[in-house]
Chains A and B, each alone.
Chain A
């Protein structure tokens, strides 16, 4: 048993349908310490969301875990029965999603949806649970929680709905909160408020966070360590400051250079943004060797033959690239 809350080891996910199988996530390993916020960054289709879903046991066919281990607090999540997993979900691992409207029940008042958590997981009576729900809604800074518990999801704004989702997720004081693009659907000013709320609540309770996002700014704001995923593989993992200030993988480097950086036009004038050539490969035809190699300006012949192994970097972390020092 280690002191890590979550250990993902050599996780492999495949699309299994009929005779054709496609590999979606290949050999992904990372760990999250207690109270740590870990960020998983990648573009759409890189496998970051399904990695999270596999942890919480919500993968749907034709997707399936085909290899590796998922160790949560010393227990192998893959060996758990459906019932055991259901107990774990919500109580010890909770998740918030991108669009709170689709995750909430439109026909039930939000207070009831929060109270449900206390009834199902803590054995509270509905009467007790209702009081706890008001308290939980107050904790996520919803004004007038006694009134708002009676509101239906459609009567609330996007930001308020996401607060309700957070209240539900944190109701049972979970050890791990998985946040899958929690602020992508929200306005920037609301996004800042929601992130601050998640950060404060999790810090106060010692909750570990797995933050999934394509937004590097959100990750830099929220996380201690970051893993960069590209086409189903984890290509670089570093403490957040190292990663953004001294990216090692050509993909990370390219990604950071391709974004307009705030304030740079004022200092240096408008420069042409550096592009990453080509497009993200589709699942059906991943290139051999390193999957970034066809788009990489540092690629050498070995890149298209062998899969780069992780090379350790100073401080902490690794990069999977043969030419990261060039």
Chain B
């Protein structure tokens, strides 16, 4: 699986903490630990999905990778080059590395600008001055995402939800980034439209040689799209591995709970759940799963010392050593 080349994105010991003021006149100060000592890699051409409940830090992780959130500690490397700290590249440069597709395309497009203006702005900022070149790139991009080039003259409100998400994708891809962060890309769309966008994203990944980091809570979409899955819980990765390992043989109690909670209509009715999640497998000897009791943690306290232990090829689970 692994080659010696540097991965496309490498997150190394990332922590993001926010000071929170509480109490009367904000006198008490606490630290909210959104991301705790998190490491992961994204290889070229891969779709890595980050799953977890709301507030587990997955969006903070995404913002850090985009360079929109300065980490408290740790580093993020893009093709071996650090994008955090003092020597980090400029915002313009980072915009060419990674882009984001947002959950709600209506909220992320300027309602007073035509699609053309929205798509041309990043190109102009990046020094594409030639009008015909801009036109040509917008035209190709519109076709790539399945829209007609002449529709670029319209405003966001003239499009349906699915079309708007196509525009959101076009906007993310216009600068030819290598990494695209997908933040719940289909959850705001009508159910009958989701398949169109999922298919489009998978096609574009092949065509343009893209790598995805997808944030999602819809595990059937995650299973369909991902190459690797990382399960986050309270700012840490508790289990990570290739999609088939995580979905067929989930080890961590939280992953099993998550997979056990999926409501799939056919599974519900036939009772043939692809995974038997009733019993949690025994942890390797000398280790225990962390956290043992879900729900007894909060975002303010430091998690106990634990480590990701490799089980099999590209499948690790967070364990806590017996004291």
Contact = CB atoms under 8 A, between A and B. Distances in A.
B257 A189 contact: yes
Contacts of A259: 191, 194-195, 220
B207 interface: no
A280 to B, nearest CB: 6
Interface in B202-227: 202, 217, 219-221, 223-225
Interface of B is mostly: helix
B86 to A, nearest CB: 38
B234 to A, nearest CB: 13
Interface string A204-225: 0000000000111111110000
A276 B192 contact: yes
Contacts of A274: 195
Given A258-B195, A273-B198, A188 B258 contact: yes
B263 A217 contact: yes
Size category, B interface: 35 or more
Contacts of B151: none
B263 A258 contact: no
Interface stretch (B4-12, B93-101, B102-110, B265-273): B265-273
Interface stretch (A82-90, A239-247, A317-325): A239-247
Contacts of B220: 259-262
Q: Which of A195, A265, A270 has the most CB of B within 10 A?
A: A265
Nearest to A282: B160
A246 to B, nearest CB: 11
B143 interface: no
Nearest to A267: B274
Contact of A188 (B160, B244, B262, B268): B262
Nearest to A217: B263
A265 B192 CA distance: 20
Contacts of A240: 269
Contacts of A189: 53, 257-258, 261
A147 interface: no
Interface string B11-43: 000000000000000000000000000000000
A158 to B, nearest CB: 8
Q: Which of B225, B264, B269, B270 has the most CB of A within 10 A?
A: B264
Interface string A241-283: 1001100000100111011111101100010111110011000
A44 interface: yes
B53 A187 contact: yes
B105 to A, nearest CB: 14
A139 interface: no
Interface string B243-266: 110011000000001101111111
Contact of A43 (B163, B191, B198, B264): B191
A141 B270 CA distance: 29
B303 interface: no
Nearest to B222: A260
A255 B192 contact: yes
A44 B190 contact: yes
A218 B263 contact: yes
Given A189-B257, A266-B274, A275 B196 contact: yes
A280 B195 contact: no
A215 B263 contact: yes
Given A262-B274, A265-B224, A219 B195 contact: no
Q: Which of B190, B192, B261, B266 has the most CB of A within 10 A?
A: B192
Q: Which of A262, A266, A272, A279 has the most CB of B within 10 A?
A: A262
Contacts of B192: 43, 251, 254-255, 258, 276, 280
A220 B244 contact: no
A192 interface: yes
B268 A217 contact: yes
B311 interface: no
A162 B264 CA distance: 22
A241 B198 CA distance: 27
B2 interface: no
A244 B196 contact: no
Contacts of A187: 53-54, 217
A163 to B, nearest CB: 14
A239 to B, nearest CB: 10
Given A260-B198, A262-B274, A244 B269 contact: yes
A262 B261 contact: no
B266 A43 contact: no
A222 B181 CA distance: 34
Contact of B224 (A215, A219, A270): A270
Interface string B267-284: 111100010000000000
A258 B195 CA distance: 5
Given A187-B217, A214-B190, A245-B269, 13 more contacts: A189-B261, A195-B263, A217-B268, A220-B266, A220-B268, A245-B270, A255-B191, A259-B220, A266-B244, A266-B247, A266-B274, A273-B198, A279-B193
15 contacts: A43-B192, A187-B54, A189-B261, A191-B263, A214-B191, A216-B191, A217-B265, A217-B268, A219-B265, A220-B268, A258-B191, A260-B220, A260-B221, A275-B196, A279-B193
Interface of A: 43-44, 187-192, 195, 214-221, 240-241, 244-245, 251, 254-256, 258-263, 265-266, 270, 272-276, 279-280
Q: Which 3 A-B pairs have CB atoms at the shortest separation, nearest pair first?
A: A217-B263, A263-B274, A260-B224
